Amino acid sequence: MATFVLIHGGGGSAWDWHLLAPELTSRGHDVVVPELPIEDSSAGFAEFRETVVDAIGERRDLVVVGQSYGAFTAPLIADRLPVRLIILLTPMVPRPGEKPGDWWANTGYRGVEGLSEEQQFFNGVPAAIVAQAAAHSRNQVSAEWQEPWPMAAWPDVPTKALIAREDQFFPADFQRRVAVDRLGAAPDEIAGGHAVALSHPRQLAERLTAYLRD
């Protein structure tokens, strides 16, 4: 049994994982779903890391999954706890010393024009789930946006990048390029959009647990 630590993206919450978590527990794994202190204007990367570490407690055999902006936080856990595997899902892959606010220009990000927020983030998600999303989003005012990413190098932990082929927020070609540039390897791919944990939870659980057998 592994412990999957699921770290949400920008403006997100534990709700983002509410369909994936039972898929993982039904396969015999433990799940930790922390909520980062994004509504606290004094909270930075140190507070993000401690929030996750505190939520993990004494659990071990950790698989840390960082979705989107959560990819800035996921590797930090390996600086405090023994981590078996890091999985970056539709990720913003950071570089040492990089401020999140600079990531967009540094990667050459260009969004798809003419799309609504729903089309960018929730393509492929059932309408009933999309209707609930606004009630679970949070205002991100935390301080890490202008903080240099604190790790001097990527942790010495096996790392996988998993992108969604129909992602309308981070298009697949863009994600492939960034993953190769920053991680040195092409990402794996799955069907779905940016919120793949809401659109394809069963398939995502199968992919995540398959990494344990590799």
Mean pLDDT for the stretch of residues 159-186: 97
3-210: CATH homologous superfamily? Alpha/Beta hydrolase fold, catalytic domain (3.40.50.1820)
Please report where in the chains the tokens 């996988």 appear, as a residue: 160
Nearest in space to 97 (alpha carbons), one of 51, 49, 52, 152? 152
Measured between alpha carbons, how far apart are the two ends of the chain, in Å? 15
Residue 146 has pLDDT above 90, yes or no: yes
pLDDT digits (tens, 9 = 90+) for 104-132: 999 999 988 899 999 999 999 999 999 99
Q: Name the token pair of 73.
A: 């936080």
In whole angstroms, how far apart are CA 17 and each of 27, 104, 141, 196?
Answer: 16, 25, 22, 10
Q: Which residue type occupies 87?
A: I
pLDDT digits (tens, 9 = 90+) for 188-206: 999 999 999 999 999 999 9
Mean pLDDT for the stretch of residues 126-147: 97
Residue 83 CA to residue 71 CA, distance in Å, equals 15
> Beta partners for 89?
67, 162
pLDDT digits (tens, 9 = 90+) for 83-98: 999 999 999 999 999 9
Residue 93 CA to residue 35 CA, distance in Å, equals 20
Instruction: State the average pLDDT for the chain.
Output: 97
Share of the chain above pLDDT 90, in %: 98
Residue 214 has pLDDT above 90, yes or no: no
pLDDT at 111: 87
Residue 187 CA to residue 90 CA, distance in Å, equals 10
pLDDT at 4: 98
